Structure 1
Amino acid sequence: MPKVETTSWANGVSYSAMSSLSAKNNDKGDSTKVDDVENQEKEGTKGMDRKPSEIYAPMKQTPSKTSVLVNFLPSGTLLIFNMLIAPISENGKCDTVNFTMMNILIALCVISCFFFQLVDSYQDGKKVYHGIVTKKGLLLFNSDLEKRYKEGKEYTLKATDLIHAIMSAFVFAVFALSDKRVRDCLLPAHEAVMAEVMKTLPLIVSIACSGLVLIFPDTRFGVGMLG
């Protein structure tokens, strides 16, 4: 009988020791899990402590090179160009057909930019009439009027109008070449050179055009002009 009691006591002590050790290991494991969760929460909220001005500061310091050029171009022309450039260019992988279509698209957009710089408008009552400036006056688009021309010195073609029209056409050419898809399609052999040129050319053109606008201000109220 004493031998049995000794064995029972030994088993009890052994079980108690194992339970204590298991509890310590569980406590240690739980403590490690808690620490891991706290570290993950700290890492997840590390960027949230920054102010919005600090987060978006790098974006403000690197504006788009072509953002200023857009102000000199008709919005409708830009919309059509941006809609058609992707399917025509096929992300720069152009064959003969794509190459031809790309040239046609750019040529039509250049003509559109030149044309819309010569468009003016005037208001008669509640209705607005648009037309193109000529030496005789404003050639109206509206066919319901008896007079085809709106006479007046302010509606005659001037040298300033031609300057703005040529400038707008040139700006669009620079804007189109700033798109990598256009360069890959039209000038694949000179991609490296054009990429370097386009890093500064849009900024130089925008500064030059801004100076021309100050010297020769535009008084026309055409269609779709942003600036």
Structure 2
Amino acid sequence: MSVIAKRPTTTTTNIADSNDAPETPKPRPAPPPQQHSALSQALTGTANLANLLPTGTLLAFQLMTPMATNNGTCDGATGPLTIIFLSILAASCFLGSFTDSFRAADGQVYYGMATRKGMWLFDPEGASGSGGGVVPDLGKYRVRVIDSIHAFLSVLVFLTVAMRDKNVVNCFYPKPEKGTQQVLDIVPMMIGVICSMLFVVFPTRRHGIGYPVTPGPAPK
């Protein structure tokens, strides 16, 4: 007679939480604000070197360079013409760094050139005839040392952009040697990084002709 042993039956019970409401997720702490170093800002600015140039000068460069260089195949006539053309645009970048503007009380924007005594307005009659007391003190817009630094840097930035243009490079170096090609690849990038860092360290508050108008106090 075989004895069949019964296994003890085990009852499984669902262990449910006594609290039916789901747990409220804990709020995550806000991430710390990212601190950008001067080098990272400079590298970011290097990728957008064209933004540091007057828009009119940059537009003229992009439109006229293919015609001035004959699409990169310069000869005895187009070579000197390209040099003159680039020199005029570089002078435009230099002089544009000394221009400034202000918004009068009547809402009109007036442009002028910064001098040692103040701003010389391009349209003084319009500013004086727009109403009494709308023109601010122009003496606070006088030229500063930082303006000369920005003028020099603007010329370097323009030359950097020009050296990266294939039509300009093919015009003066149609078949560069290996060493020359390395210089053309490295030097503009180095100049761009240095200029971008200096633009970060020495920012300008002038709202000149062709430059983006940014909010901020007038030069003191």
Q: What does 1:52-67 correspond to in 2, within 5 Å?
A: 67=47
Deviates more, 1:75-84 or 1:150-159: 150-159
Distance 1:114 1:143, change over 3 A: same
Q: Percent sequence identity over matched residues? A: 33
Q: Which runs of 5+ in 2 are unaligned?
A: 1-42, 129-134, 215-220
Whichever residue aligns with residue 122 of structure 2, its letter is F
TM-score, structure 1 as length reference: 0.64
Alignment-derived partner of residue 163 in structure 1: 149
Whichever residue aligns with residue 203 of structure 1, its letter is M
How far apart are residue 223 of structure 1 and its match? 1.9
SS at match of 1:131: strand
Number of residue pairs aligned between Structure 1 and Structure 2: 164
Deviates more, 1:181-190 or 1:70-79: 181-190
How far apart are residue 142 of structure 1 and its match? 1.1
SS at match of 1:185: helix
- Whether the 8 Å CA contact 1:136–1:151 is kept in 2: the answer is no
Alignment-derived partner of residue 103 in structure 1: 83
Q: 2:196 aligns with which of 181, 195, 210?
A: 210
- Whether the 8 Å CA contact 1:69–1:202 is kept in 2: the answer is no
Alignment-derived partner of residue 48 in structure 2: 68
Q: 1:127 aligns with which of 102, 105, 108?
A: 108
- 1:102-125 per-position Cα deviation (integer Å, ceiling 9, x unaligned): 011100010010011111001112
Of Structure 1 and Structure 2, the greater helix share is in: 1
RMSD over equivalenced CA pairs, Å: 2.7
SS at match of 1:121: strand
Alignment-derived partner of residue 12 in structure 1: none
Alignment-derived partner of residue 197 in structure 1: 183
Whichever residue aligns with residue 55 of structure 2, its letter is S
- Whether the 8 Å CA contact 2:46–2:196 is kept in 1: the answer is no
Q: Which runs of 5+ in 1 are unaligned?
A: 1-62
- Whether the 8 Å CA contact 2:163–2:188 is kept in 1: the answer is no
TM-score, structure 2 as length reference: 0.66
How far apart are residue 193 of structure 1 and its match? 3.7
SS at match of 1:169: helix
How far apart are residue 77 of structure 1 and its match? 0.5
- 1:152-200 per-position Cα deviation (integer Å, ceiling 9, x unaligned): 4530110000000011011111211111211221234646444322323
Larger Rg: 1
- Whether the 8 Å CA contact 1:69–1:206 is kept in 2: the answer is yes
2:163 counterpart of 1:177: yes
Inter-partner Cα distance in structure 2 for 1:186 and 1:126: 48
2:40 counterpart of 1:77: no
